[in-house]
Amino acid sequence: MKPTLVILAAGMGSRYGGLKQLDEIGPNGEAIIDYSLYDAIRAGFGKVVFIIRRDFEEAFKLRFDNKLSGKIDVEYVYQELTDLPEGFSIPEGRVKPWGTGHAIRSARDVVGTPFAAINADDFYGFEAYQTVAGFLSSEADETTYAMVGYRLDKTLSENGTVSRGLCVTNHNQNLVDIDELTKIGTDDKGIYYLDGDSRKELQGDETVSMNFWGFHPSLFNHLEEGFVDFLKKEGNELKSEFFIPVHVGDLINSKKAKVKVLTSEASWFGVTYQEDKPVVIERIRKLIEAGSYPSRLW
């Protein structure tokens, strides 16, 4: 059975200033998400699940239903504030859902195979999809998951700070821990992150998670338990988020799962800020020139 690709596309792009999931960066109007789909199809994925907001539905269906017909099965699910475990309610004043763990949980009824989960607005590279597809087809099981690791210095923006999950691995290349840093930047002194008001230095060769995961469907049971625990502790905080890297770290620490860190020569880049867009357009142009992609994907 072919693996499934789950695409997290419900974010608003508040720092970016628009629906960056569908912003055109290719020569024929392609978005980054088009390149992700193209790579996933040729790597052997059989189904894609878009996790979106309901008010994105029309835009996504108009864009993808026809072009993907006959190439890959398509489903849409909605990350909604009201999608809570039994016994919980939305705290007064809460306006946004609970982050990436909550988003993946929303696909629990439509994913029945090992699956990869990605961000809609990140370019991961074909080799990464090949690597994950191989893992999902041959190694993933109820206690064995994976992630693709990238070098930190290859994932930064010149136009503002970014969030990254720093990874620690053991001698088996299994993940030991993830430290979610939310304000990583670069300047003439080097790479740093802000811990409150304190600046702390980074080397640049650290392995980071870019939210490219390989999971078995057993994850959904863990997510349910983890989300309940999270809501009990932080559910009344109006801006708290149930981060998938933090939850995966909890699974590792409790020995409920191990996570293999897959290395890849693929390039990662993304659009966090509007000022990143020209850089992404140029990098896509160079990949087309090199023969990695056709000038028209579909």
Task: Give the CATH number for residue 31.
Answer: 3.90.550.10
Please tell me the distance from the alpha carbon of residue 32 to that of residue 71, in angstroms, as a whole number. 18
Please tell me the distance from the alpha carbon of residue 271 to that of residue 250, in angstroms, as a whole number. 29
Residue 238 is encoded by which pair of tokens?
């109006």
Per DSSP, the three-state class of 128 is helix
Domain of residue 73 covers 4-149+209-245+257-289
Per DSSP, the three-state class of 136 is helix
Side-chain half-sphere of 250: how many Cα atoms within 13 Å? 15
For the segment 225-267, what is each residue's pLDDT rounded down to a tens digit?
Answer: 999 999 999 989 999 999 898 899 899 999 999 999 998 767 7
Segment (H or E) for 149: strand 144-151
> Does the structure show a pLDDT above 50 at 127?
yes
Output the pLDDT for position 15. Answer: 45
In a domain, 86, yes or no: yes
In a domain, 176, yes or no: no
In a domain, 178, yes or no: no
Residue type present at position 267: S
Output the pLDDT for position 12. Answer: 54
In a domain, 18, yes or no: yes
Average pLDDT over residues 104-120: 97
* pTM greater than 0.85 (yes/no): yes
Tally of residues, the chain: 298
> Does the structure show a pLDDT above 60 at 16?
no
In a domain, 226, yes or no: yes
Total domain count, the chain = 1
In a domain, 190, yes or no: no
Give exposure, 156-194, as e/b (b: 16+ Cβ within 10 Å). bbebebbebbbbeeeeeeebeebeebeebbbeeeebbbe
